[in-house]
Structure 1
Amino acid sequence: MSLRTYHDPLHGAIRLDHNDPAEALVIDLIDTAPFQRLRRIRQLGTAYLTFQGAESSRFTHSLGVLHIARLALDHLVRLAPELATQRSALYAAALLHDIGHGPFSHSGEEMFGLRHESWSGRLIREHPQLRDRLEAERPGLAGEVADLLEHGRHPCRAIAALVSSQLDCDRLDYLLRDSHSTGTSYGQLDLERILASLTLAPDGQLAVHPKGLMAVEHYLVVRHLMYRSVYNHRLNVVSTWLLCRAVAVARRLGPDHVPADGPMARWLWQQGDLDIDGYLANDDIRSGYHLLRWREEGPPELADPCGRLMDRRLLRAADVSTCSSGERLELLARARSLAARAGLDPEGTCALQQRSSRGYHSYKGGLRLWDGQDLRALEQRSPLVETLARSQQSAWLIHPREVSEPLERELRQREPPSGQGSGAGPLSLP
Structure 2
Amino acid sequence: MAKPYYRQLEEEKVFKDPVHRYIHVRDELIWELIGTKEFQRLRRIRQLGTTYVTFHGAEHTRFNHSLGVYEITRRILEVFEGRPNWEEDERLLALAAALLHDVGHGPFSHSFEKVFDTDHEEWTREIIMGDTEIHQVLARVSPEFPKAVADVIEKTYSNKLVTSIISSQIDADRMDYLQRDAYYTGVSYGHFDMERILRVMRPMEDQVVIKQSGMHAVEDYIMSRYQMYWQVYFHPVTRSAEVILSQIFKRVKALYHAGYSFTHQPVHFLSFFHGKGSLRDYLRLDEAITLYYFQVWQEEEDRILRDLCVRFLNRRLFKYVEFDPNQRMNDWPKLQELFREAELDPDYYLVIDSSSDLPYDFYRPGEEEERVPIHLILPNGKIRELSRESEVVEAISGKKRTDHKLYFPHDCLSDEGEHRRSKQQIRELLNP
Q: TM-score, normalised by structure 2?
A: 0.87
Larger relative helix fraction: 1
For residue 326 of structure 2, what is the amino acid of its counterpart? S
1:311 corresponds to 2:311? no
1:88 corresponds to 2:88? no
CA distance 1:15–1:340, change in 2 (3 Å): same
For residue 310 of structure 1, what is the amino acid of its counterpart? L
Other structure's SS at 2:299 match: helix
Q: Percent identity?
A: 33
1:214 corresponds to 2:219? no
Q: What is aligned with 1:266?
A: 271
Instruction: Indicate the larger mover: 381-390 or 60-69.
Output: 381-390
Report 1:23-38 matches (<5 A).
23-38=27-42
- Structure 1 residues not aligned, in runs of 5+: 18-22, 413-426
Other structure's SS at 1:89 match: helix
1:311 shift after superposition: 1.0
Q: What is aligned with 2:5?
A: none
CA distance 1:382–1:331, change in 2 (3 Å): farther
CA distance 1:175–1:407, change in 2 (3 Å): farther
1:341 shift after superposition: 5.5
Q: What is aligned with 1:382?
A: 390
1:113 corresponds to 2:113? no
CA distance 1:111–1:235, change in 2 (3 Å): farther
For residue 362 of structure 1, what is the amino acid of its counterpart? F
Distance 1:44 1:315 in 2: 19
Distance 1:216 1:111 in 2: 37
For residue 93 of structure 1, what is the amino acid of its counterpart? A
Instruction: Indicate the larger mover: 253-262 or 168-177.
Output: 253-262
Other structure's SS at 2:87 match: helix
1:324 shift after superposition: 6.0
Q: Deviations over 1:69-112 (max 9, x none)?
A: 00011101142385322111011101000000010133433343
Contact 1:112/1:244, CA 8 A, preserved across alignment: no
1:406 shift after superposition: 5.4
Report 1:354-365 matches (<5 A).
354-363=354-363, 364-365=371-372
For residue 37 of structure 1, what is the amino acid of its counterpart? R
Match of 2:21 among 12, 34, 52: 12
Contact 1:41/1:103, CA 8 A, preserved across alignment: yes
1:184 shift after superposition: 1.1
Other structure's SS at 1:313 match: coil
Other structure's SS at 2:140 match: helix
Other structure's SS at 1:296 match: coil
Match of 2:375 among 320, 343, 368: 368
Q: Deviations over 1:10-29 (max 9, x none)?
A: 11121323xxxxx2100000
For residue 231 of structure 1, what is the amino acid of its counterpart? Y
Q: Deviations over 1:106-134 (max 9, x none)?
A: 34333433221111111100133111211
Distance 2:393 2:261 in 1: 52
Q: What is aligned with 2:261?
A: 257
CA distance 1:147–1:204, change in 2 (3 Å): closer
Distance 2:424 2:226 in 1: 34
Q: Deviations over 1:263-314 (max 9, x none)?
A: 22223x233x222111100010111111112222251121122211011100
Q: TM-score, normalised by structure 1?
A: 0.87
Distance 2:382 2:124 in 1: 38
For residue 319 of structure 1, what is the amino acid of its counterpart? E
How many residues align structurally?
402
